[in-house]
Amino acid sequence: MKRRLWTSLIGVVLIVVITLGYNIATNNTPILGLDLQGGVSVILAPTESATADELTVIRDQIRSELERQGIAEPDVRVQGSTIVVDLPGVRDQQEALSAVDVSGVVELRPVLNPQSCQTGEVAPLPAGPVIGGATDASVPTDASVPTDASVPTDVTGSQPQGLRRPQAPTDTIPTDTIPTDTIPTDTIPTDTIPTDTIAPAPVNAPLPTQPAESGAVLLPTRDGSAECLGPVQGTGEVFERGSAEPTLDPAEGWGVSVGLRGGEGRDTWNNLASQCFSLAPTCPTQRLAIVLDSVVQSAPSVNEPNFTDSVSITGSFEQADADELASVLNRGAFPVEVEAQEARTVSPSAGSDSLRAAIIAGLLGLALVLVFLVAYYRWLALVIVGGITVWAGMVFSMASFVSGWTNYALSLAGVTGIIVAIGVTVDSYVVFFERIKDELRNGRTIKNAAPRSFKMTWRTIWSADVVSLIAAGILFSLSVGSVRGFALYLGLTTICDLLVCYFFTRPAVLLLARTKLMAKQETVLGMKVATA
Amino acid sequence: MTLDTSVSRSGLGRVFRGQTAIDFYGKRKVGLILAIVAVVITFGSLLTQGLNLGLDFEGGDAWDIPASEIFGVDEASDVLRANDVSTTGARIQLRSSDTSDVVTVQVEVLSREQADAVTADFAEAAGVTVDEVSFSFTSSTWGAEITEKAIRALVIFLFVVAVFISLRFEWRMAVAAIAAMVNDVIVAVGVYSVFQFEVTPATVIAFLTILGYSLYDTIVVFDRVEENEGRFASTKTPYEDIVNISMNQVMVRSLLTSFSSILPVISLLLLGSGVLGAVALREFALALLVGMISGVYSSIFIATPLLAYLKAKAGKTSRRERLLGDDLRLAVMGAGVSGQIAQDSPRSDDHDDASGEHVDSEREPVAVGAPGQADRLLTHPPRPRKKKRR
C-alpha cells in the first residue's frame, strides 16, 4: 500500500516534469488564438460578381471546410465584396494560402462518346461507378441498397450496367441508335438550370481539345485517362450542402450518398439524369461526369431517370476514394468560385498586453488563493500548493500537445476559462480537507481519517467532474468554432483535476497522514485534534 | 483524549467548525423570490432593450487604412476615441504583407455621417487621401450554423446530464440541478442585457463556463444530501431536516470554494482590466463573477429547496416539525462523519470546558420548547446504511 502510494506520487510528478521539460525544450507551446497572437489573413475574392447572400453562403462553407481540415476557430467574414479569412496558429502565408484553397465549383457534365471530341486518342472506359436512387436519405448505409425490383443486382461491374425504366425501350437499343424523340441539348428548359450558377468552361484545362460538338471537351480523369464531356449542365448546387458522406454497404462496398436539394436542385439533376438514362444525344453514354477544377472526379452511369431525395454513387471504390468524392461533392457546392488574392499577417486583436494582463492577474489571484488556503489549512495546505503546481504543469503540457494535434488555439476566453478552472480544482482539496476535519472533530486520528475521507471525497469529485466531462465531450463533438475550443479546454482541465486528485493528492495526503510527525501534531488543518 | 467538540461562541467560529444551524429550508421563500426577481429583470430587460450583440454576431463597419510610421494601431484607436466611438468592441489589427501594411479597424455599425467623419479623420491621421482609406461593411463571423450546432449540443448535453444525475442520484435532483443552472445562466445574461455590455463570442464562452460551474457546485452539494439521506434512512428524518443538515455541513466548503474561485476572477477584473488596462477582460470577468456567485447561491437557495419540495410532493410525510436552532446544530455536528457517530457526542460535553456551559444555557429554552426531539435523533444514533454502490 505504502509503496503503491509512493509510486503514484513520484510517477505523476516525474511524468509532469518530463513532459513539461520536453515541451519547454522543444518550444512546444499551445497555439494562441487570433485575439492573443494574431495569425495570417487571406483575402478571397469571387471570380465573378456575387450577391451578398452568395458571399454569406461561401463564408459558411469556407469555415466548415476549414474546420473539417482541422484548422480550428478560423475567423471568416464578408468584408465589402471580398471574403476575409483569418487563421490562428498558421505561421506563414504560404501555408495559409494553401489552407484556404477550399473553394471550387463542381460541374455536372454528360459524358459523350469519345468520337465527339475528334481526337485520335480514345480514352479507355474506366470502371465507372453507378448512380442509384436512394430510397431513404436519412439512412445513408442503406442508400445504395436497391429496394426497387428493377434495380439490377450487378451494379458494380467494371462495365457500367444501366438500369432501365420499365416503360423504356428494351435493352437491345445500342447507344448509337439514338431515339429521335429525346430532348436535344438546346431544348432543355433553361429555367431548370440556374444560369447564374454555371461556372464558365475552364480556360486552362490541362487537356483542352477543340470541341467537335458545341461545348464538348476532353478532360483528364483522376487516374490519368481522359473523358469526352458535353457542356456543363449543372453545378454542385443541385446537392444539399454538406450532405455527401461515404457509405459502406456489405454488398456493394464503399459508395457515396448525397442529398438532392429540393426544388431547383432536384429538377436540374433529374433533367440531366433522365437525359442520360434515356440515352439522349446530349448524353449518349448514359454516364454523368462530376468535374472539379477541370478534373473528372467520377463518371458514374445513371441507373434511374428520377431521384427523389438523394443519390447514391457506388462502384469499385476504396474507402479513400469514397471519402474524397464525398468531400468533393461537399465543397463543390460553392455558388461562385473564389480566388485567394493576398495573404497578410495579422496582429493580435485583443491588444498585445491582454494576455500578459490575464496571466499576471490570474497568477496573482492564484497566489492569493494559495496564501489564503495556507493560512486556513496550515501546512497541510502545502499539498494544495504542490497539487496546483502539478495540475498547472499538466494542463500546460496537455494543451501544448493537444493544440499541436488538433490546431485548437487558446483564446483569451480560454485563458480565463482556465483561471475559473483553478477554482474547481481547489474545490477538490477543500472538499477533501473539510471532510478530514469532520472526521477529526469526531475523534478519529488523522491516519484513520485521511483514507476514509478520500473515499467519500472521490465519490463527490468524480460525480461532479463527470458532468463537466459530459459537457466537454458533447460540446466538442457536436459544436463548431469557439464553443468547440471551450469544450476542449474544459475537458482538459477537468481530466487534469481528476488525475491530480487521484494520483497526487491522495498519495500525498495519505502518506503525510501516516508520518509520525503528523501523529504528534496537536493541530491539523488549523484545528485541535485528538492525539494518540 | 482532548476533543474540540464545544460549540464556538462566535458566529464565524461556528461557520468554520461546521457548527452552524441555519434554517436554509425555512428561508427558501427568500431565495426563491430573489431568483424570481432576477429572472423577471432579465426577461424585462431582454424584451425592452435586448442584448447588445457585438461585431462577430451582427457585423459592422470596417476600414482599411494604409499603415505607416505615423499611423498604427494606437493612432487608429485614438481616432475612434476622438469620434466618440467605443473602442471596447472594436477590433483594430495591423495586417502586413510583403508589399504593404494596412490597419484594419472594425467597429459596430455607425451612422452614415459618423462613418464619413471617421473615414476623413483616419485619412488625416494617416496622412493619405480619403480615397486611399477603404470603407466597407463587414459581415458577422459567427454564422447561424455555429449557434444552431451549439444549441443542439446543449440540448443533448442537458438530456445526457439529466440521465446521468438521475442514475447517479435521482431524477428530482436532476430537475433541481438543471433549474438552478438555468437560473444562473439567466442571471448572467441579465447582467449583459441590463448593462448593455457587448456580447462577443467570448461572452458565450463565459455563459458556458457559468453553466458548467453551476452544475458542478450543485452536484457537490447534492452528493452530501444523498449521503445524509442514506445515513438518516433508518430514523424517519423529514427531508427538510436532511436538507438543512446537509446545507449546514457543506457551507464551509461552499464558502471556501466560492472564495477561491472568485478571487482569481476579481483579480482579473480589478488588476487585469483595471490596473493593467486590458479592457477586453472587463466585461467577461464581470459576467463570470456574477455567474459564479449566482452558481454558488443557486445551489443552496434554489436547487436544494426545490429538491426538498419535490421530495415532499413524493408523499413522504414528516412525522414532526423540522429541527431548528440547537437541535439542528447537534444533528449537523453529529452526522458529518463516515461510520458511526462519535461516542462523546456534543450533548455530553458539559463537563468538558467552559464554553459548554454557555451553550447549554443558550440551548435550554429550545430544549424546553421542543422536548426530546434532538434526543431522539441522537440517543439512537443512526447507523450508516450500507448502500449498494458504496
Tell me whether strands A130-134 and A301-302 are parallel, antiparallel or unpaired: parallel
Chain A residues within 8 A of B289 when measuring between CB atoms: none
**What does the pLDDT read at residue B360?**
40
Band the pLDDT of B372: cuts 50, 70, 90. Answer: very low
Are A289 and A218 spatial neighbours (Cβ–Cβ below 8 Å)? no
For an interface test with A, which of B139, B147, B269 has the most A Cβ atoms less than 10 Å from its Cβ? B139
Which helix (H) or strand (E) is A315 found in, with range?
strand A310-317
Quick: pLDDT tens for A494-520: 999 999 988 888 888 888 888 777 666
Beta-bridge mates of residue A32:
A410
Is B15's Cβ below 8 Å from some Cβ in A?
no
Q: In Å, how far is A523's CA from the nearest CA of chain B?
A: 10
Considering only CA atoms, which of A472, A457, A442, A441 is closest in space to residue B223? A457
Residue type, A409: A
Tell me which chain A residue has its CA closest to the CA of residue B284. Answer: A413
Tell me which chain A residue has its CA closest to the CA of residue B149. Answer: A479
CATH number for the segment(s) A2-34+350-528: 1.20.1640.10
Subunit contact A77:B59, Cβ cutoff 8 A: yes
Are A241 and B143 spatial neighbours (Cβ–Cβ below 8 Å)? no
Q: What is the mean pLDDT of chain B?
A: 74
Beta-bridge mates of residue B61:
B107, B137
Cell representation of residue A185: 441539348
Query: How far is Cα B237 from Cα B248, in angstroms, rounded to an integer?
Result: 16
Domain ranges of chain A: 2-34+350-528, 42-84, 106-333
Chain B residues within 8 A of A422 when measuring between CB atoms: 260-261, 264
Q: In Å, how far is A102's CA from the nearest CA of chain B?
A: 18
Tell me whether strands A82-88 and A39-46 are parallel, antiparallel or unpaired: antiparallel
Band the pLDDT of B294: cuts 50, 70, 90. Answer: confident
* Residue B126 reports pLDDT greater than 70: yes
Which helix (H) or strand (E) is B308 found in, with range?
helix B304-313
**What does the pLDDT read at residue B317?**
57
Quick: pLDDT tens for A394-433: 988 888 888 777 767 777 777 777 877 888 888 888 888 8
Subunit contact A470:B160, Cβ cutoff 8 A: yes
Domains and CATH numbers, chain B: 12-52+144-313 (1.20.1640.10), 60-138 (3.30.70.260)
Query: How far is Cα B156 from Cα B160, in angstroms, rounded to an integer?
Result: 6
Is B216's Cβ below 8 Å from some Cβ in A?
yes
Q: In Å, how far is A459's CA from the nearest CA of chain B?
A: 8
Considering only CA atoms, which of B102, B32, B15, B23 is closest in space to residue B63? B102
For an interface test with A, which of B260, B288, B330, B332 has the most A Cβ atoms less than 10 Å from its Cβ? B260
Instruction: Tell me which residue in A346, A365, A376 faces B264 most closely, judged by beta carbons.
Output: A365
Query: How far is Cα B330 from Cα A264, in angstroms, rounded to an integer?
Result: 76
Is B97's Cβ below 8 Å from some Cβ in A?
yes
Are A266 and A277 spatial neighbours (Cβ–Cβ below 8 Å)? no
Subunit contact A412:B266, Cβ cutoff 8 A: no
Subunit contact B337:A438, Cβ cutoff 8 A: yes
**What does the pLDDT read at residue B111?**
80
For an interface test with B, which of A346, A418, A420, A495 has the most B Cβ atoms less than 10 Å from its Cβ? A420
Enter the DSSP assignment of A267. H
Query: How far is Cα A309 from Cα A294, in angstroms, rounded to an integer?
Result: 27
Q: Please indicate whether residue B167 or residue B323 has the higher confidence score (pLDDT).
A: B167
Query: How far is Cα A490 from Cα A467, in angstroms, rounded to an integer?
Result: 11
Q: pTM for this structure?
A: 0.69
Mean pLDDT of the region B151-174: 88
Subunit contact A527:B343, Cβ cutoff 8 A: no
DSSP of A35-86, one letter per residue?
Answer: HHH-EEEEEEEESS---HHHHHHHHHHHHHHHHHTT--S-EEEEETTEEEEE
Chain B residues within 8 A of A482 when measuring between CB atoms: 146, 201-202, 204-205
Considering only CA atoms, which of A139, A65, A142 is closest in space to residue A104? A65
For an interface test with B, which of A446, A482, A494 has the most B Cβ atoms less than 10 Å from its Cβ? A482
Subunit contact B219:A463, Cβ cutoff 8 A: yes
Instruction: Tell me which residue in B209, B261, B270 faces A417 most closely, judged by beta carbons.
Output: B209
Are A335 and B242 spatial neighbours (Cβ–Cβ below 8 Å)? no
Quick: pLDDT tens for B322-343: 666 666 776 666 654 444 443 3
Query: Which 3 state secondary structure label does DSSP give A366?
Result: helix
Has the ipTM of the complex gone over 0.90?
Answer: no
For residue A167, give every residue at least 6 positions away whose Cβ sits within 8 Å of its Cβ, in sequence order, or none.
none
Q: In Å, how far is B38's CA from the nearest CA of chain A?
A: 23
Lookup result for grid cell 500548493 = A385
Q: How far is CA B367 from the centre of its chain?
A: 38
Lookup result for grid cell 485575439 = A35
Task: Collect the ranges in chain A with pLDDT lower than 50.
Answer: 120-128, 133-213, 532
Band the pLDDT of B145: cuts 50, 70, 90. Answer: confident
